[in-house]
Amino acid sequence: MLLGVIADDFTGASDIANTIAKGIAPEGGLRTVQYLGVPRTDAAPDVEACVIALKSRSIPAAEAVAQSLEALDWLEAQGCRQIIFKYCSTFDSTPEGNIGPVGEALAKRLGEKGVIACSVFPDAGRTIYKGHLFVGDRLLNESGMEHHPLNPMTDADLRRWLGLQCKDPVGLVDWSVIRRGPDAVRAALVTAGEKGETLVIVDALANDDLLTIAAACAEAKLLTGGSGIALGLPRNFIKAGLAKGGKPEVDAIDGLDAVLVGSCSRATLAQIERHSTGHPVLAIDVNKVMDGTLKADDLVAFVRANHGKAPLVYSSSKPEEVAALQEKYGREAVAHKLDALFAQAAKALFDAGVRRIVVGGGETSGAVVSALGVTSFRIGPEIDPGVPVLVTEDGTGLGMALKSGNFGGVDFFEKALGAISGTGA
């Protein structure tokens, strides 16, 4: 195996798996599998890249470190030449972690310094300039991410934010260095390491910058960041004669469908509104979930009553409504109840024959996939930037799409169901 990824949530894992599998023209990408949790057996011989999806973004930092190191052990046992620690392109974290603690722990185990930290994803509007993260034309802390229910992002200065999480000083390679090419970037990272900087924020404004960074890091043991940092890595292996390249392909999955959404992002709210104009939707009353009067059976009954119509069930709300519910019941209690509700509903729907399932939201995706007992996916074609078709490897004939909250066009849900069945994307 050539490339191994440790991702801190399930949708982010799909995002970077998509980037690696499609690669860039004309070479294409690597044969890629996404695992749900650390595998207990070796990867298949034809796998060139694998992504281990953890649910470690919002757990205590020490637990996230332990899980990530376990994943690293497995990847090294598979012979991986390069490791990526993948986190969200909006740098979702708190002042305590988990990006800094995990990144430093992986770097220490691999004996690395001057490791890039670059969450750039230009195709989704994420760029970094002078160490500040932008979402479109807005600073991160003015993009809506300041209202995130679990990891509110209140500072766009990533060097300062990451510095709160790290034991070692955090460096910066700004865009003036990037524009000078791979050799300049490589030299800057070496200098950062010599100064004791383990993690280094790296600017990038466009995909060409990501290709420059990839070329600079061709021999690096560890990279950290969003899915964009993997853009040029397949090309490195193909040029070295270690892989042939190609396009991702999976079997089409037809049959009954369902859409389950637990994200509160602005993009997701717009997608739900669009979907509701032509398809049945059910809004979850969180108060009824908390008092036990709304159960998974109610969600399943709604979906089954609307088979063939792309039914959608959602718990998404505006930020002020989410804040009021968290104040009333407690943030963790609400999250736990909703995750359990979606998980139970997904399992019942699968048992009832639903084989195309689209999920919105990272935490919701993790809960659903765990409940379904999925252990690995083959990566198929891209639906929208950062979101591929996923098909289970275990022969159950389940096709999925796991969408991070802010990803996807306004018509994403209908498009995703079509892509899974081979009629779109």
pLDDT of residue 335: 87
The DSSP string of 355-416 is EEEEEESHHHHHHHHHHHT--EEEEEEEEETTEEEEEESSSS--EEEEE-TT-S-TTHHHHH
pLDDT of residue 144: 86
Tell me the C-alpha distance between 365 and 342, whole Å.
Answer: 9
pLDDT of residue 320: 82
Are 238 and 27 contacting, i.e. CB atoms less than 8 angstroms apart? yes
pLDDT of residue 421: 96
Q: What is the number of helices (H) and of strands (E) in the chain?
A: 15, 18
pLDDT of residue 149: 76
pLDDT of residue 266: 84
pTM of the model: 0.84
Taking alpha carbons only, the member of 379, 320, 370 closest to residue 347 is 370
pLDDT of residue 66: 98
Measured over the CA atoms of residue 64, residue 90, residue 149 and residue 262, the dihedral's sign is negative
Cis peptide upstream of residue 26 (ω within 30 degrees of 0): yes
pLDDT of residue 326: 86
Instruction: For residue 363, count CB atoms less than 10 angstroms from its CB and return exposed for 0-12, middle for 13-18, buried for 19 or more.
Output: buried
φ, ψ of residue 350 to 5 degrees: the values are -60, -45
Are 80 and 2 contacting, i.e. CB atoms less than 8 angstroms apart? yes
φ, ψ of residue 245 to 5 degrees: the values are 85, 170
Q: Which two tokens stand for residue 293?
A: 């009067």
Are 52 and 396 contacting, i.e. CB atoms less than 8 angstroms apart? no
What's the DSSP call for residue 28?
A: B
pLDDT of residue 152: 87
Residue type at 79 in one-letter notation: G
- In DSSP terms, which residues pair with 200 in a beta bridge? 116, 171
186-195 long-range Cβ contacts below 8 angstroms, 24+ apart: 186/216, 186/217, 189/114, 189/115, 189/116, 189/216, 189/217, 189/220, 190/114, 191/114, 192/113, 192/114, 193/112, 193/113, 193/114, 194/113, 194/114, 195/169, 195/171
Q: Name all domains of the chain by residue range, CATH numbers in brackets.
A: 3-239 (3.40.50.10840), 256-420 (3.40.980.20)
Collapse the DSSP code of 120 into the 3-class scheme (helix H, G, I; strand E, B; otherwise coil) and give the result.
Answer: coil
pLDDT of residue 119: 97
Q: Token pair 């802390």 is at which residue?
A: 141
Crossing angle of helices 296-305 and 331-351, rounded to 10°: 40
Are 412 and 11 contacting, i.e. CB atoms less than 8 angstroms apart? no
pLDDT of residue 145: 86
Taking alpha carbons only, the member of 59, 105, 87 closest to residue 201 is 87
φ, ψ of residue 175 to 5 degrees: the values are -65, -25
pLDDT of residue 136: 92
φ, ψ of residue 221 to 5 degrees: the values are -80, -30
The count of residues in the chain is 425
User: What does the angle CA 19 – CA 49 – CA 216 come to, to the nearest 5 degrees?
Assistant: 65
Per-residue pLDDT of the chain (425 residues; tens, 9 = 90+): 999 999 998 888 989 999 999 999 899 999 999 999 999 999 999 999 999 999 999 899 999 999 999 999 999 999 999 999 999 999 999 999 999 999 999 999 999 999 999 999 998 899 999 999 999 999 999 988 888 877 888 999 999 999 999 999 999 999 999 999 999 999 999 999 999 999 999 999 999 999 999 999 999 999 999 999 999 999 999 999 999 999 888 899 999 999 999 988 888 999 999 999 999 999 999 999 999 999 999 999 999 999 999 999 999 777 788 888 888 999 889 889 999 999 999 999 999 999 999 999 888 988 999 999 999 999 999 999 889 999 998 888 999 999 988 889 999 999 999 999 998 74
Q: Token pair 């407690």 is at which residue?
A: 330
Ranges assigned E (strand) in 199-242: 199-202, 222-225
